[in-house]
Amino acid sequence: MKRRSMLRFFLIAAGSFLILDTVFIKSFTTGNLGTYLPAIMGLPLLAMGLFLTPLSAWFHETGLGAAVKWFIVGVYAAAVLFFTIVGSILYKEGHERAPSDANAVIVLGAGLRGSQVSLTLQYRLDAAYDYLQQNPGALIVLSGGQGEGEAIAEASAMRAYLVSRGADESRLLMEDRSTSTYENFQYSLALLRERLDGNAKIAFITTEFHVYRAQLVAKRMGLNAAGIGAKGVWYLSPNDYMRECIVLTVYWLRGRV
């Protein structure tokens, strides 16, 4: 009985925590797969905790119940293993040493709040500003079009933020048409080809969890660009990593990386 009580407490606590995570993140973001995934995983746990007594009897007294029990255990065990392995790869790639000799750096856009950069995008731009300071000859391409709910193109907001920090405007190029990582690189490279020769070294800046997939996209386009990982928003990181694990898998299955 004590063991069952502990299991019930764990299931209810874990399920409630995951659901509350979704509620919290959704309160100040537009919502995406990473936002809702914790609740999707938490609802079954909460339900099993609340109805553990009748479920336990069914799990142990029928063949179907036993099969369902082990199926549920297998699904959650596989999910934990999947997120741990893929998440570790994303983390490692996002924390590689940044190149110090790039001729140009493409900053991949992220969401805006009206016309203001989000905290995620701010961190990417802060990394770009630091790179400008450390590499006086480098160009920065600010890449991002206008998305749903955004008052202006992301590139315009990105430029305004860097200029407000004192960045040299002559070193900032704007690419304001892209709506995906592929287009970030496609349109940014078109701008850079007009200014740099074919031997120029290109790097890009994005949030740590996104570096690996962005590198794969770049390589598929024939671009050997090093990724520079900007720090993520700590309370969004678990959701971001979970979403990225799934998106990366979908990209791989569709042959997009």
Task: List pLDDT tens digits, range 67-126.
Answer: 999 999 999 999 999 999 999 999 999 999 888 889 999 999 998 988 999 999 999 999
**Entry pTM:** 0.90
Instruction: Provide the pLDDT for residue 65.
Output: 84
Residues 6+ apart with CB under 8 A from 213: 181, 244, 247, 248, 251, 257
Helix, strand and coil in the chain, % to nearest 5: 60, 10, 25
Give φ, ψ of 244 to 5 degrees.
-65, -35
Instruction: Provide the pLDDT for residue 36.
Output: 95
Q: What is each CA distance from 33 to 39, 86, 147, 205, in whole angstroms?
A: 10, 17, 17, 23
Taking only the tens place, the pLDDT of each residue in 160-204 is 999 999 999 999 999 999 999 999 999 999 999 888 887 889 999
**What is the C-alpha separation between 248 and 78, in angstroms, rounded?**
17
Give φ, ψ of 172 to 5 degrees.
-110, 125
Instruction: Provide the pLDDT for residue 176.
Output: 95
Mean pLDDT taken over the chain: 93
Q: Does the pLDDT value for residue 1 go beyond 70?
A: no
Mean pLDDT to the nearest integer, 143-156: 92
Q: 31-50 burial string, b = 16+ CB within 10 Å, else e?
A: eeebbebbbebbeebbebbe
Burial of 194: CB neighbours in 10 Å, binned 0-12, 13-18, 19+: exposed
User: Which amino acid belongs to residue 147?
Assistant: G
Strands 139-143 and 104-108: parallel
| Cβ–Cβ < 8 Å for 136, 114 | no
Instruction: Provide the pLDDT for residue 4.
Output: 82
In the chain, the N- to C-terminal Cα span, in Å, equals: 51
Taking only the tens place, the pLDDT of each residue in 49-68 is 999 989 888 888 778 888 99
Taking only the tens place, the pLDDT of each residue in 205-244 is 999 999 999 999 999 998 889 999 999 999 999 999 999 9
